[in-house]
Amino acid sequence: MTTPVLNGKSIDWRKTFFLLLGLALFFLFYFAPPFAPVHDPTGKEFALPKEGQRAIGLFLMAGIWWVFEVIPIGVTAITIGVFQGLWGIRKASDAFHDFMDPSVLFILGALFIGLAFSKSGLTKRVAFKMIQVAGEDTRIIMGGVFLITMVMTWMMAHTAVAAAMFPILMVILSLYGEEEKPTRFGKGLFIGMAWAAGAGSIMTMMGGARNPAAVGLFQEFTGQEISFLTFSKYMFPIGFAMVVMVWLLCVILFRPEKTRIVGVRDKVNQMAAQMGPITRNEIFVAVVTAIVLGLLVIQQFVPALEPINRSVLLLLAGLVFFIFNFFDVEDLEKRVPWNIILLFSGAMSIGFCLWKTGAAEWMAVGFLALFVNAHWLVFVLAISALVMVLTNFIMNVAAIAITLPIALVVASYLGINPQVILFAAVAMAGVPYMLLIGAAPNAIAYQSKQFTTGEFFSYGIIPSIISIGILAVMVLIIWPLMGMPGLLK
């Protein structure tokens, strides 16, 4: 229901309600009496500072505004920085410093590479080849997209994978013939790509920074070393199962309007023939991208490259494309999705805010304390669920850093194999399926305009719950058969 107001605009009462609800929650936490401290199993006390209490209120407000899109998602991100400085949660210099965190610039660099692929015509060529192999069945096309996305995450960060896949999927959607409006096929294609990128990224240590970070924390707390191959051995089955789950869910939830894109293979063959042989520009883009991605892959094995931040390498590729006139100022102003960049800037700021004010640690300890006397499997699944929820709101590395040490302490009391805690936490840190801010592929997929933030949230609840079920099967059956029992003898 809407009512006319000034300037020919009208009030959207639904958005107004959620805008006011978010503000009400923020001020409720802001003015509420101090919350009681929580205790871990050793008796250590964790107090919640007033800044942390206010951070939780801001966290809830931002979440509601993002899910229901009461204002543009980038503007909500700006609000996060403004409120931190305005209401004394953190200094404005700290809050807005996080807006240009290297992780945000990594996303910008990935978008530059995707833009270069698109402008050079390389994305069309890749998309045409994909269609020629997959054929006309829309369900097989979806499966092929998710499989390729999964494999690519073994070699590069899932942000770069999503940025490279996005323009390819836009070409596929145009061949579907409904690119001007949201369709079930479009929703399944883009949401599924984001989900598959997350699931694929948990399968190797190179899939994301959270993986080696978790292994490093684990070694520090337990003294046990997890090798590259051991990590992949236990994470591959769960990651692959999740990608299959994503495909089946997308086929069911987003049943394509057309079971076949009739004549698409012939059409693609004609369009591919019209493109002619591969051009110098395509070769140049492919070579530059291959060099940068190759450096990302070997970085962890070459000590001299380790100090170089990943964002520097991707931005270097963007710089090269600008120097050789692949981009111009108009591209920078009109084709770079600054709304998405701001979204992740705000996500980094609220994530650091929760972490540095002690709010995230207070929430994690309080939650896990509820399960100290529970069955060991319930405790493992509770940890996993907590990591999954946290990683929808804050950096997955931060979610791991907050929960893993606490969980390992509690696990020692329950006699749980610490490796189970490690792999379960890492698995759930890779599947932020409900919020766009949970992972860059989610936000990149949103650019397609095939779905709303509310749709992404509501649909994402289903694979999130199923993922916990898949993890339970791994913990109880698959991992013990592979040599990793749930309980220590």
DSSP states of 13-57:
HHHHHHHHHHHHHHHHHHHSPPPPPEE-TT--EE---HHHHHHHH
Contact 176, 185 (CB under 8 A): yes
Element (H, E) at 10: strand 10-12
Q: Identify the pLDDT of residue 225.
A: 81
CA distance 388 to 248: 21
What's the pLDDT at 314?
A: 82
Phi, psi of 435, rounded to the nearest 5 degrees: -120, 145
Between CA 170 and CA 160 the distance in angstroms is 16
Closest CA to 58 of 95, 99, 12: 95
pLDDT tens string 90-132: 999 999 998 888 878 877 887 788 788 778 887 778 777 777 7
Secondary-structure percent of the chain, ordered helix, strand, coil, rounded to 5: 75, 5, 20
Cα(250)–Cα(256) distance, rounded to whole angstroms?
9
* Measured CA distances, 424 to 75, 176, 208, 388, 482 (Å): 35, 39, 16, 10, 15
Asked whether residue 351 carries a pLDDT value surpassing 90, the answer given is no
pLDDT 10s digits, 28-63:
999 999 999 988 767 788 899 999 999 999 989 988
What's the predicted TM-score (pTM) here? 0.75
- Which of 169-173, 279-283, 478-482 comes out lowest in average pLDDT? 169-173
- Per-residue pLDDT at 271 exceeds 90: no
Torsional class of 451: left (φ above 0), alpha (ψ -120 to 50), beta (otherwise): beta
CA neighbor of 390 nearest in space, from 398, 382, 379, 378: 398
Is the distance from CB of 450 to CB of 182 less than 8 angstroms? Answer: yes
Q: Are 402 and 355 in contact (CB under 8 A)?
A: yes
Q: Cα-flanking dihedrals φ and ψ of residue 419, to 5°? A: -65, -35
Inter-CA distances, 329 with 115, 241, 325, Å: 13, 44, 10
Counting every residue, how long is the chain?
A: 489
3-state secondary structure of 78: helix
N-term to C-term CA, the chain: 63
Cβ–Cβ < 8 Å for 236, 458: no
